[in-house]
């Protein structure tokens, strides 16, 4: 078993009902170098958010979880809120996404999800509630934290893990190389993305079984 798969298996022991990302007949539409798939998903305030709404701005999609220790470490370390605030200052839209199905024990209703995000210091542009998993399956989101970066022209330019820590230890997260920050730095500098793809790690997204 690889270390990455061990992390996924270990995370499953820490939370109930973690499941694989998608069945074989649910191939993701998101492809690097191609236009990012459209979506229409309600945020925690009930507002429908779409990719078209943010046309002309870079967009980050961060899949997250209320129970995953790997996602928790990103926030406990301060790295994720710091990156979200930095992105906002640069005019980058940051959308955190919960694709947890209501049948799962770690599902949060919108008001609960909003409160949870505030408690952990999250600072995204919006927190989306993708409870039926449509957006997650479209992008092929596998884990918390699986992250996708979309350029201002709508092209998907990065897909993968948040950093190289593969850790649930906030200290290791704080000392890691952040793949998403590096991709955004390249994007803002109008350079080719040096590392456009990495393997995601963490807890599998809790889609419907």
**pLDDT tens figures, 98-125:** 999 999 999 999 999 999 999 999 999 9
Cα–Cα distance measured from residue 199 to residue 159, given in angstroms and rounded to the nearest whole number: 8
The residue among 68 and 12 whose pLDDT is bigger is: 68
User: What secondary structure letter does DSSP report for 54?
Assistant: G
> Which whole-number Å values give the CA distances from 74 to 22, 36, 49, in the listed order?
25, 25, 25
128-138 mean pLDDT: 97
Q: What is the count of structural domains for the chain?
A: 1
The model's pTM: 0.90
* Segment 45-103, tens digit of pLDDT: 999 999 999 999 999 999 999 999 999 999 999 999 999 999 999 999 999 999 999 99
Q: What is the pLDDT of residue 156?
A: 98
The domain containing residue 173 runs over which residues?
A: 3-18+28-204
Cα–Cα distance measured from residue 189 to residue 31, given in angstroms and rounded to the nearest whole number: 22
Whether 30 contacts 138, CB under 8 Å: yes
Query: Encoding tokens for residue 168?
Result: 């649930």
Across the chain, what does the average pLDDT equal? 90
The residue among 2 and 53 whose pLDDT is bigger is: 53
Is the torsion defined by CA of 120, 137, 159, 197 positive or negative? positive
- Residue 23 domain-assigned (yes or no): no
Whether 129 contacts 138, CB under 8 Å: no
The answer on pLDDT for 182 being more than 80 is yes
Q: How many Å separate Cα 204 from the centre of its chain?
A: 12
- Residue 178 domain-assigned (yes or no): yes
- Residue 119 domain-assigned (yes or no): yes
């Amino acid at each position: 078993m690889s270390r990455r798969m061990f992390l996924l298996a270990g995370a499953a022991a820490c939370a109930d009902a973690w499941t694989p990302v998608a069945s074989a007949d649910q191939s993701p539409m998101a492809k690097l170098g191609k236009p990012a798939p459209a979506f229409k998903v309600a945020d925690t305030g009930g507002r429908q958010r779409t990719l078209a709404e943010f046309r002309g701005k870079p967009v980050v999609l961060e899949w997250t979880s209320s129970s995953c220790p790997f996602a928790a470490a990103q926030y406990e370390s301060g790295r994720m809120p710091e990156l979200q605030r930095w992105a906002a200052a640069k005019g980058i839209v940051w959308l955190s996404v919960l694709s947890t199905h209501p049948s799962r024990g770690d599902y949060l209703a919108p008001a609960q999800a909003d409160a949870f995000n505030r408690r952990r210091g999250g600072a995204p542009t919006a927190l989306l509630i993708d409870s039926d998993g449509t957006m997650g399956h479209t992008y092929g989101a596998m884990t918390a934290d699986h992250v996708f970066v979309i350029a201002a022209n709508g092209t998907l330019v990065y897909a993968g893990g948040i950093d190289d820590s593969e850790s649930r230890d906030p200290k290791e997260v704080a000392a890691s190389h952040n793949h998403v920050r590096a991709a955004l730095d390249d994007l803002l500098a109008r350079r080719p993305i040096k590392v456009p793809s990495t393997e995601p790690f963490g807890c599998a997204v809790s889609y419907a079984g």
